[in-house]
Structure formats: C-alpha cells, structure tokens
Amino acid sequence: MDLMLLRAGGVCTRIPLWLVVPVLLGVLAAVVTAGYQLGQQQRDVVEIPVLPTVGSPDLELAERELAREGVESLASRLVELENRQARLDLRMSGLGDALDLDPEALEPKTGGRGGASPPDTAAAVDRRIAALDHLLGQRDTTVARLDEAVRGDARDERMRPGVRPVESEAWVSSAFGYRDDPFTGERRFHSGMDYAGREGSEIRAAADGIVVRADTNGGFGRSVDIVHADGLLTRYAHNAELLVDPGERVEAGQPIARMGSTGRTTDTHLHFEVHGPGGPENPADYVHR
C-alpha cells in the first residue's frame, strides 16, 4: 500500500507506506518522551507542604498541663467552699445563742442517702464539690431566714419601751397609781412615774419610735410624745429643753430633752408615761426603775 502526497504544481508523488510508518512511530515516541520529562520536572519543582505531627512527648505534656489546671480549679473551689462553711458556722453559732438552740437544729434535713463509693476521678470530685455547693446553698438560705427573723424580733423589741429614760443618778420620786396631789392634798390618780434628778440632765427615748409631739402641753410643760410598736406611746414632761421635732425618727436611748421643771411641778423632775391602746399603763412594767 502506498501513500499519495500531492505537492505544489499539481504533481502527485507516491510514497510506499512501509517508509512512512517508522517515521510516524518515531515522532510519537519523541512526543511521549517529552511529556514524561516535562512531568518529571514539574514534580520536582512543586512541593506539597506536610503538617508536622505531634509526637507522644508533646501530647503527654499537654495532658499534664490540662490536668494541672483542673486540679488548681478544684482546689480554688474547695477553698471557697471552706470559707463559706466557716462563715455559716459562725452565723449558725450566733443564731443558736440568740434562739437558745443547738446549732445542729438549724441544719437542713436531707434524709437518708447512700450508694457505692464512686471512683476518685476529677469528674467524680467535681460532682462532689457541686453537691457540697448545693448543700451549703440550702444552709445559707435557712440561716438567712432565721437571721432575718431574729433581726425582726430585735427591731420589734427595740420599738417597745425598755430603756430607762433618765441617767442612773435619778431616782423615782413618785410611782404610778393613786397618790395625794402635791398641790391640793386630794387623792388623785397619777398617770405616770416621776424621776427626780439634776437640772439639764439628759432625757432619753425609751424605745425606737417617731416623735408625734414636741411642744408646750398645758400642765405638762415642755413635753415630748413618741409612738412605738403595738400602739404604744411614751410621754416625757416638764423638760427644760426639747431636742427633737415632730416627725423625727428616734432610736432607743437617744437624747430627746433635758430635765427641768416647766408646767405644773414642785421641782426638777421627769414625768414619764406609757400609754397603750387602753390608756395609761405602769411604766415600771416596761423599764427598770
């Protein structure tokens, strides 16, 4: 078989096929060889980055660091819980004294519990700390409620007359009840208690309260009236000077006036009254003579 080759000028040349085939095979081999060499060159030039691997020592170091941080966190939480426990113990001891109770009686009742001992792992210790934190929270709530109740009782107590309204040197010159009137000699009811003392000595509020009157009040002279809890009112009469104004809130033991002899009186003294919802009551039932 021949290969016909048409050249310029219309001349046709016949070439035997057995001569063309070797040439074509040579060209094909050259093309393949060139492609292979080009691929080798590109493979040598292109470098694919490879991430470094973490060796076993590095992993152990990281694990130890995480474990150390976990232990430090647990230790910090334990210290915090111990401080809370100490503060609660002090508060419970104080409440026990105030309420005349055994502090153990203030412990919250948890009921029976049990179970197998868990493994001593970080997770198990963390769960124990969380349980202790919850228990301390319950105790804190219980103690706070009792503490508020005690403070409330103390506030109520301070609002009931109980403080002696005069200095210790003063003495009772006339008691509550029927007596002979010092001006007329007639038998009359004395609605308060008289304390004799030195001119200008301090007159003190017998309890926490609010001043409802501070002015001259007829035969009582310069007088102060204070309202307290449970509808009680105290009156301090015959003063030389008043130290408070109406509407002022006062505390037990606070100076409110100075002793004098204004109004219907024979000499320097304090006329002290306690009024309840039913009228005058014996001041000696509230304050020490």
**Which residues, other chains included, contact 174 with Cβ-Cβ below 8 Å and sequence gap of 6+?**
190, 193, 194
Residue-wise pLDDT for 220-278, tens only, equals 999 999 998 888 999 999 999 999 999 999 999 999 999 999 999 999 999 999 999 88
Residue-wise pLDDT for 102-161, tens only, equals 555 555 555 555 555 555 566 666 677 777 777 677 666 766 665 565 555 556 677 889
What tokens does 94 get?
A: 């104080």
Half-sphere exposure of residue 132: CA atoms within 13 angstroms, side-chain side? 16
How far is CA 245 from its chain centroid? 37
Task: Please tell me the pTM assigned to this model.
Answer: 0.51
Q: Over 70: is that where the pLDDT of 205 sits?
A: yes
Of 232, 105, 110, which Cα lies nearest the Cα of 159?
232
